[in-house]
Structure 1
Amino acid sequence: MIEDFLQGDLSDVEEAVRKAAAAEIMPRFRQLAADEVVEKSGPHDLVTVADRLAEEHLTAALIGLLPGSVVVGEEAVHADPAVYSAVTGDAPVWIVDPVDGTRQFVRGEDGFCTLVALAHRGELLASWTYAPARDQLAVAVRGGGARLDGVPLHTGSPAPDAVLRVATSHPDYTTDAQKRALLGLVTPGISPRPCGAAGLEYLAVARGELDAVAFSWEAAWDHAAGLLLVTEAGGAHLTLDGVPFRIGGGNALPFTVARSTATAERVLGALRS
């Protein structure tokens, strides 16, 4: 069933993502009322009415496109953490972040996106990264490459002696041990900066505009779409213990996703230092 779906016309998924953004996100962009923004775990962890309604819209649409599939969305998991186990379950799973970069969205900035990935038994199969305020859509299919607005993406490789540009986790989302590891990036040859919306940082890596990311949290909705996008564009990912990142969790953190294996290993060496 899943194989037949992937070999078919995936433009229906693209249309579903665009429609959800057009119906529930963009009408509220720079139009949010104070009571439409709520803190979850703290002031850096926000949810808006757009997040909730876009996820509901996508959940109905995506299950309709692939009967028998399930959805793991950020807001659904916040309401019921048990939903997360479906990421590695037997049913095909849509992994959804309706508004990645909610803080940017709330501030009226255009650096936010909608992330959708399709996985089965922990294996990423396809992904969609849509930045509606910029009208950019990146799509990746396992074994089929990655494209931005229809144009193939290639990460390329930084020069061996280049200063690496690396986006890193916000300090508010790191443990003391992870902070120490990330401090390893403050070293000659690496130029770290705080990350924006994770999905757009992954897109920057896939485009060769950013050399790597180094993140300290595992939430599949933040990473699944970008992981496939970067790897299909030619990049690589490694966790602190030197193995690829697993969307089901249990990873040694921080982890890095980079333009090439050599770049990932270079960032990993700094994290271990």
Structure 2
Amino acid sequence: MNEDMETIDEFLARHGADVEDAIRKAAAAEILPRFRRLADHEVDQKSGPHDLVTDADRNAELFLTQALGDLLPGSVVVGEEAVHADPATYAAIRGDAPVWIVDPVDGTRQFVSGEDGFCTLVALARGGELLASWTYAPALDQLATAVRGRGAHLDGVRLLAGAPEAGQDLRVATSHPDYTTDEQKRALLGLRVPGVAPRPCGSAGLEYLAVARGASDAVAFSWEAAWDHAAGLLLVTEAGGAHLTRDGDPFRITGGNVLPFTAARDEATARRVAALLTDGA
């Protein structure tokens, strides 16, 4: 495995810029031309009115699937839209091959509404271990990257999440009520205590970025889909943060987590939020 990891490190050293270029090109070709210009026929519902997909999602994922697979022969791509079409493809996250985990448009609801709070998420993992991630907000032209053991950066500047400001309420972005079960809502109610200021989240990827840059203190999410979390979890961790599920274990992208879970700008905050989620269950 160590030899394999060294090979991946060498790949990132040689081709990290190529991955960034592929993500930017996917956004330029398939996402930005449709931003605030979506026709009705380019927007569909998947499981319901709060679960939207657009031609930008589908086409950007196809673009990235081809480009990323070409960059790293032998790798596989697990993308949100491909898994929706064939759920069995999700199992590749638990396999031995390097896996690209892709959310072509994270924050589709914001994208459809013409808001700029959406992003493209890409993570590279192997055997359930996160190795590198890219979070690109094309409407804002911001790119955050993280490499295991080498830190997190936003537009080339090192990210350090730091600690919450003393005496201030913890700012926690939580799963949006539209996407939570009654049990999850009860768990999230544990955050409604003095000293904590919960609010519904927007794009998960941008919420993780806010934690990594110290603009927010934590997230508390109630779903497992790896394409929403993989990039952001590595970003937060490499910025000095931590993530914990309700039972005190780190979140696993391979699944089987006790939900909800939290990612926070430092370990003490992660433990505090995870304890509140347990108390609210």
TM-score, length basis structure 2: 0.96
Match 2:93 to one of 66, 87, 100: 87
Partner deviation per Cα, 1:150-196 (whole Å, 9 max, x = no partner)? 00000000145431000000112222211101001111000000000
Take 2:9 and 2:36, find their aligned partners in 1: how far apart are those partners? 40
Counterpart residue type for residue 47 of structure 2: S
**How many positions carry a matched residue from both structures?**
273
2:86 is equivalent to residue 103 of structure 1: no
Q: Match of 2:4?
A: none
Q: Does the residue aligned with 1:129 lie in a helix, a strand or coil?
A: strand
Take 2:192 and 2:260, find their aligned partners in 1: how far apart are those partners? 15
Q: Match of 2:37?
A: 31
Q: Does the residue aligned with 2:30 lie in a helix, a strand or coil?
A: helix
Q: What pairs up with 1:1-273 in 2 under 5 angstroms?
A: 1-273=7-279
Counterpart residue type for residue 212 of structure 1: A
Q: Does the residue aligned with 1:184 lie in a helix, a strand or coil?
A: helix
CA RMSD of aligned residues (A): 0.8
C-alpha displacement of 1:83: 0.4
Take 1:238 and 1:160, find their aligned partners in 2: how far apart are those partners? 22
Q: Does the residue aligned with 2:191 lie in a helix, a strand or coil?
A: coil
Counterpart residue type for residue 190 of structure 2: G
CA contact (8 A) 2:134 2:231 kept: yes
Structure 2 residue ranges without an equivalent (≥5): 1-6
TM-score, length basis structure 1: 0.98
Q: Does the residue aligned with 1:6 lie in a helix, a strand or coil?
A: helix
Partner deviation per Cα, 1:110-164 (whole Å, 9 max, x = no partner)? 0000000000000000000000000000000000000000000000001454310
C-alpha displacement of 1:2: 2.4
Take 1:233 and 1:205, find their aligned partners in 2: how far apart are those partners? 9
Counterpart residue type for residue 140 of structure 1: A
Take 1:195 and 1:3, find their aligned partners in 2: how far apart are those partners? 33
Counterpart residue type for residue 227 of structure 1: L
CA contact (8 A) 2:187 2:260 kept: yes
Take 1:133 and 1:74, find their aligned partners in 2: how far apart are those partners? 21
With 260-269 and 124-133 compared, the bigger mean Cα shift is at 260-269
Take 1:272 and 1:179, find their aligned partners in 2: how far apart are those partners? 12
Take 2:241 and 2:161, find their aligned partners in 1: how far apart are those partners? 6
Take 2:10 and 2:140, find their aligned partners in 1: how far apart are those partners? 32
